[in-house]
Amino acid sequence: MFIATLIAAKGRLADADLSVAQEKMAAAGCTMSATRWIDEGIAADLDFTGDPLVAREVLEGRFDATDVVVQPAAHREKRLLVADMDSTMITVECIDELADYAGIKEQVAEVTERAMRGELDFAAALDARVALLEGLDESVIEQCLAERVTLMAGARALVRTMKARGGHALLVSGGFTRFAEPVAAEIGFDRAIANYLEIAHGKLTGTVRKPIVGSDTKEKTLLAALDELRIDAADSMAVGDGANDLAMIRRAGLGVAYRAKPIVAGAAAARIDHGDLTALLYAQGIPSAEWVVG
């Protein structure tokens, strides 16, 4: 049994839309068994048997500003969340914003974009970008955190709701501890793992401590957490937007590409292009009345 969840970012789903979805899925060979609202007008489930890839194909793009998550009915509610930070749990890429204070944002952001698209080796690209920040005053980190770093909509609700229901949440970032640790604390993550910017005499040295937190670290963190918690991969969710998130996304029970680069969106089991992070609560069948907010 599978569940297809429709999540309307603008809250415009109607009963007629669910009927259309059922018709399209049935025409594609799926056998429909039940339809129900999670939150009326916003999110709904369609239970079916058949090919989940076919169901996803016929539903994605069918309704205005609506995300589609198709997954097995079993293990739907997750017990572990492993999440990327930059452009996933927060709205910016921190290294690009630090570079702005140094007057080189355009130069650094171009490399960041290419690395996130999988066009460059992540570790080498990070070293090259950090080297350009050599001599930047350490105080700029706190200034950047205060002035530029904004939580992604729905981040707190996602993490705090999952934790309130007995889940665990880990933030694993290819960014920096000086951002990841306060962001993780503000959102409610159990732990943050990120790269350590080296500083001497109050200035950035232009280096980052090795080994670099990259794709391999993210995947190993997920697997270690599964082992530590003694849960199946099916009970986990991983979410990110860049190429360095692909390994953990592929290993999780539900791997989610969140407003992601094409290489990630094409490979993930689910993608969220329209809604905020609360879409991942709807994907777990949790109505807004049960969210932990604030």
Whether residue 238 contacts residue 170, with contact meaning beta carbons closer than 8 Å, is answered with no
CB atoms within 10 A of CB 202: 8
Unique residue bearing structure tokens 């991942």: 280
Q: How many CA atoms lie within 13 A of 134 on its CB side?
A: 7
Q: Active site residue: 45, 86, 235, 245, which one?
A: 86
Active site residue 86: yes
Pairing mode, strands 66-72 and 2-8: antiparallel
Separation of alpha carbons 13 and 238, rounded Å: 27
Whether the bond into 72 is cis, omega within 30 of 0: no
Dihedral sign, Cα of residue 32, residue 37, residue 38, residue 41: positive
Q: Is 104 helix (H, G, I), strand (E, B) or coil?
A: coil
Whether residue 193 contacts residue 181, with contact meaning beta carbons closer than 8 Å, is answered with no
At position 127, the amino acid (one-letter code) is: D
* Of 170, 200, 202, 204, nearest in space to 188 by CA: 170
Q: Active site residue: 67, 84, 96, 245, which one?
A: 84
Pairing mode, strands 203-208 and 236-240: unpaired
* Of 294, 211, 279, 291, nearest in space to 43 by CA: 279
Separation of alpha carbons 246 and 187, rounded Å: 23
DSSP state of 53: H
Active-site residue set: 84, 86
